[in-house]
Amino acid sequence: MQTQKIGTAIKIFGVVIGLFVFCVMPATTQAAPDALNTITLAGEFSDADAIFLRTNLETLRDQFPTWYQYVIDAQPLTIAIDSSEGALGHAAIAKCCDAQGRGVITFGFHFGQSPDDAEQTIEAQRVAFIGTLVHEVTHIRDQRAGRFTTKTDYKSCVAIEKSGLEKQLEVKRALATGDLGAAFAHALNQQIGDEATALRSRELWQHYCGAFQN
């Protein structure tokens, strides 16, 4: 689950907290299969959102195939946009599974249009989106495998969110090895270092799981 960024340590992660719905896009005639042809899109999806999602999935498929497979292996999968979740401060939420057995990831904002995105370059928006997608996919994969299924107390909450945050950090490390340009690569590596430090901070876990200590 990911919320909008709050505080110094939380701000580093950007889009990361959500809880735990998608229309099928037709395959194209290009040599590589359409990256969306196995994902259902739902809710307030616009054409621009579908293009943004396709572009980022194609980046994973063509440049980081291990991570593309990581996402695709979470199928059956629905991706939705619901602005009411954004109004509640949820950048993304994941749920496994709906009545049809689909994992559901709901984003609270149109892609590239969250309050955090306004402060970022296109490259930074794409890295943040892929990190968030992998984070939420991790929750679905964990739940399907019977791991970290329910937040019942502070300890279980930390276990669930740590799993997603660690995978988010891992995919960002992979993206940093791509052709990003020297300046952006340097900034991303600095962010990765800051996020790794934040994972060990009390502030981060109070943000994610502090409600269980009340």
Q: What is the pLDDT of residues 67-76, one digit of tens each?
A: 999 999 999 9
Percent of the chain exceeding pLDDT 70 equals: 82
Rounded to two decimals, the pTM is 0.82
What's the domain count of the chain?
A: 1
The closest of 77, 104, 79, 115 to 19, measured between CA atoms, is: 104
pLDDT in tens, 80-120: 999 999 999 889 999 988 888 889 999 999 998 877 766 67
Q: Domain residues for 74?
A: 2-213
φ, ψ dihedrals at 64, nearest 5°: -135, 65
